[in-house]
Structure 1
């Protein structure tokens, strides 16, 4: 069992590898008394525990994460995870396939919004 400090350190490393230094630096700079405990929690638990587990590679975790976020309608998190998915080895074409698959089971409006966010997030690149 890892200590909280080991989980926090590992979580911050994984968080930076997946989301990039610029994103994490912005999140850290915005820590305040209202969100400090939550930021610590997601670093230790989401990144230090879950994203660090050996059962799925990061590419697969990105597929699951994008599917869950779009299906639940958590659109504010989707652009960040589009970028993370590219970092984790998915191609833009694969992300489009994920959007189509989610659209099949969740509906056309979800796929329309996902496609628009993909274009807005990645532009003509990737």
Structure 2
């Protein structure tokens, strides 16, 4: 059942990732905004989910479907790394450096704020 949960969550996350890429793609942009966007948003959601979702969800299959399946397939570390290498190959060294540093730092910040929001929403949900 866990494999099915991850697979179903993965389908949804992969489709969301695909559509975000399509909607945000700009062939003239030198900065890979679609991947940056999904990784930051995915980091924020995962941070929130680690604090709020895991405390609230009693269904382990749903939890793994959301965390590993949906969020795991929505974010994309391999694409991030590939885009950095391609930027370096094209000699866009400054863009590659900025993409790497901003993605890493803002990703960590997004996780942090997601966890803070999870803590706040968890506290409020617990007082009802």
If the TM-score is normalised by the length of the shorter chain, which range does it land in? 0.3 to 0.5
Q: Which has the higher contact order (CA 8 A, sep 6+)?
A: 2
Using the size of structure 1 for normalisation, the TM-score is: 0.38
The structure with the larger Rg is 2
Using the size of structure 2 for normalisation, the TM-score is: 0.37
Choose between structure 1 and 2: higher helix proportion: 2
